[in-house]
Amino acid sequence: MRLPTLRGFGRRAAWAAALGALAAGLVTLTPLAPAAEAAGTLQQVTNFGSNPGNLTMYEYAPAGLPANAPLVVALHGCTQSASDYHTHSGWQKFADQWGFAVVYPQTGTANNSLSCFSWFDSAKDARGKGEAASVAQMVDHAAAQYGSDRARIFVTGLSAGGGMTADLLADYPDVFAGGAVDSGLPAQCATTQAAASGCQYSGQNLTPKQWGDKVRGSYPGYSGPWPRVAIWQGTSDTTVAPVNGTELRDQWTDVWGVGQTATATQNLTGNTTESIYADAAGKPAVALFSVSGMAHGLAVDPGSGADQCGSTGAYYLDTICSSYHTAKFWGLDRSGGDSGGGGALPAPSSVTVAATTDTGVTLSWNAVGGAASYKVYRDGAAVGSPTGTTYTDTGLSAGTSYRYTVAAVDAAGAVGAASAPVTATTTGAVPAPKCYTDNNYNQVRAGRAHQSGGYTYANGSNQNMGLYNVAITHTLKETSPAYFVLADSGC
């Protein structure tokens, strides 16, 4: 089957999305007064800079936003708009709940016929150039307007906006503390429009170092710190092939120098597997969220639950609230967990593994003056909030190593500095991995693999298993829940 001609993203998929957007009655915003005059409303901002990329700036801030709050930049996908993304993505809920401002850059048909951000154009997606420079100007304007914490500025985007997000993280690692690429492409995967289709539909066969060099080459001479990057990818995405999630993982783990083996994995709602790649201090540097069975779009989960958000629509898919998990990965939930605490209390000293069982770990530490409670983090994720100086973590896997850090929390809820990490290994034997031998068709039917473009890919590792049919047989080994690798040479 011949693929449609591309312009930014697949024209066939984009026109289908455009029809869906019309059916949903999406709105184009008209210019309003500057946001400083009305908080709690999506507002257009003019005169934010020279705007070399010809973008439009919108922003949202909850009422009573304090100074030194975080700032999030959110980029829409092709055929979408700032108001569309604000309405469906769920970012408003968490801006109101956790107290941060959101900037929504918007492109249009004058830049790209399908209103795609130009992630594939080296004249528009490089530091100091075009659309990338316009977004940087928006950040400067909003940070000055709101008195934002310049150490807590983040960027996220869907599809073409995801590709531009990766470029921005590479171009401006001195600006962004973290990012989230949703159904997007690795930084600088393509530098011309003609090369864009190759990135979208197939792997580029680059090593992690080659991917990492594309980031390092975007801002020569920069030596860190690097942004913490969350990657969201559906396993049934036929517009941006699932291999892009793996390549993004390879790219940013290489930049961080942490290797491509996950330090922790867990199953989330919506058939989602989270794989964490921690830095030397035990904090997540990269997270890969693989959503089994999800097509191309942003993962949302309409509802009133704490971990639910957004609304469905064209390219907004009811699976899991990606904005919630991304915000927690960045530490915007005020736990300070993944991005480091902003409180004044020092790190607890003498964090010790007091005891281990096959399913639990007990920790102890010295008290911190002024602490009302403590936060305990396992592999970078908050797992407990004890008021004393001991904590027992339960429900763990036998024979498995976990890394813990502890931070003190003051009476106002501010989380202080995290302790040095300690490693605890539960007792008992490591469960033997399960292996499954079957043809590619049945592997997909059983939920161990997925197909895209006529080929089969192992869930989790995204390894190419060949054509999607009954004539090809492979053995898959489940190395962690819902994570499969090829094991034809033996399990």
State how far the alpha carbon of 486 is from the alpha carbons of 272, 460, 465, in Å: 20, 11, 8
Active-site residue (options: 89, 159, 275, 292): 159
Nearest to 79 by CA among 314, 316, 319: 314
Please, which contacts does 43-47 make with residues 24 or more away whose CB atoms are closer than 8 Å?
45/138, 45/141, 45/142
Nearest to 283 by CA among 256, 302, 301, 260: 256
CB-hemisphere CA count at 13 Å for 77?
A: 27
- Say whether 202 is catalytic: no
What residues does 309 pair with on adjacent strands? 301
CA distance 21 to 36: 30
DSSP code of residue 400:
-
The answer to whether the CB of 310 falls within 8 A of the CB of 321 is yes
Give residues with Cβ within 8 angstroms of 491, minimum separation 6. 433, 435, 475, 477
The answer to whether the CB of 83 falls within 8 A of the CB of 43 is no
CA distance 12 to 452: 16
Report the catalytic residues: 159
